[in-house]
Homo-oligomer: A and B are copies of this chain.
Amino acid sequence: MDVSGFYDVVHRRRDVRGEFTGGVVPTDALRRILGAANAAPSVGLSQPWDFVLIRDVGTRTAFRDHVQAEREIFAGRLDAERARIFARIKVEGVLESSLGVVVTYDPRRGAPAVLGRHAIADAGLYSVCLAIENLWLAATAEGLGVGWVSFYREEFLRKLLDIPHQVRPVAWLCLGPVGTLQATPDLERHGWRHRTPLAQVVHEERFGRSAPR
């Protein structure tokens, strides 16, 4: 296969807020995207994820209102300089996107003896995130956009979607066609934070030992 095509997807992928068109997501593309998520690696082959597809405007409006309230809580904790930057940053595209995909974690899948989870309880939660990244990249490959919204309380989302108490909501993903994918992440464009170069996060043999340049 074309390796450079793969890296193109990885580097084009963005966390989309403002670029959703609200256009239709073709059924076949959605099936391929969810199929990629379901093909992710998982601890003990437990596949502990579920995907709730939300198109209903009433549900999405209720969630968006909750997110806006959480946005205000976060804004209230910032100093004046950070608050000024944050005011320019859009944190969700819940209504502008075509649908929401809520991804959840069910620790009961494959239990009690989940192979590889006895020493690390969070390993199941990790698996769910691997599925989310597969979904995200697949959507990018299909020419669509994804935005992960995390300004919410898990309990709110659990009630909104009738999620059982044993199941944990992990993400609300906005999904849909986009007018464009920004070349630079929103938070960098708006001066919130700059990307860390690879050399700063690679160590050799022990934590804290830099790689030779």
Interfacial residues, chain A to chain B (CB-CB below 8 A): 1-3, 5-11, 13, 15, 31-32, 34-36, 38-41, 43-47, 49-56, 59, 70, 73-74, 77-78, 82, 86, 89, 91, 104, 109-110, 113, 115-120, 122-123, 125-126, 129-130, 132-134, 136-138, 141-142, 148, 150-154, 161-164, 167, 170-171, 185, 187-188, 192-198, 201-208, 211
Contacts and interface: CB of A to CB of B under 8 A. Distances in A.
Contacts of A49: 201
Given A10-B138, A120-B154, 17 more contacts: A1-B141, A2-B2, A6-B9, A10-B134, A38-B196, A41-B133, A45-B187, A47-B195, A49-B201, A50-B201, A51-B202, A74-B118, A74-B119, A115-B187, A119-B152, A130-B133, A130-B136
Contact of A148 (B41, B46, B56, B125): B41
A211 B205 CA distance: 48
Given A52-B206, A207-B52, A41 B82 contact: no
A12 to B, nearest CB: 9
Considering the complex of A and B, which 5 residue pairs feature the smallest CB-CB distances, nearest first? Answer: A129-B129, A133-B133, A1-B5, A6-B141, A45-B187
B10 A1 contact: no
Contacts of A206: 52, 161-162
A194 B44 CA distance: 10
Nearest to A1: B5
Contacts of A77: 113, 118
A165 B153 CA distance: 28
A32 B142 CA distance: 22
Nearest to A202: B51
A74 B115 contact: yes
